Amino acid sequence: MNILAELAETFRSTAVSKAYGEPVQVGGETLVPVALVQAGFGGGGEADGDGGGGAGGLVVPLGVYAGREGGPAEFRPNPITLVAVLTPIVWILVRGLRKR
């Protein structure tokens, strides 16, 4: 396996493990953080061996799963992320309705 493929696999497995955080006990509840994780890796080279590569990623905290022992878990969204995601959607819908 070449170095580019190895780096891509390492980066991908690291990004996947970040979607759900480690459970944390807070006030009698167990919280499991949840995030949207996006990762990318790319590279290229020339015939003479010169080349390069790079990686990047984005992690957006979506919220937490919260529950007490023996009870069901519920998803609690991150209000800041919720506003950030809904604002452009509402803007597009309002703008579309005005054009009618």
Residue 85, exposed/middle/buried by CB under 10 A (0-12, 13-18, 19+)? middle
The edge-to-edge listing of strands for the beta sheet with 51-67 is: 24-26, 29-45, 51-67, 74-77
Decide which of 50 and 87 is more confident: 87
Q: Does residue 5 carry a pLDDT above 90? A: no
- Please list the residues that pair with 54 across neighbouring strands: 42
pLDDT at 15: 60
The band of 9, judged by pLDDT with boundaries at 50, 70 and 90, is: confident
pLDDT at 14: 66
The band of 11, judged by pLDDT with boundaries at 50, 70 and 90, is: low
The mean pLDDT of 82-93, rounded to a whole number, is 91
DSSP the chain: --HHHHHHHHHHHHHHHTSB---EEETTEEEEEEEEEEEEEEEEE-TTS-EEEEEEEEEEEEEEEEE-TTS--EEEE-HHHHHHHHHHHHHHHHHHHHT-
pLDDT digits (tens, 9 = 90+) for 32-78: 999 988 877 788 888 887 888 887 888 888 999 999 988 899 999 99
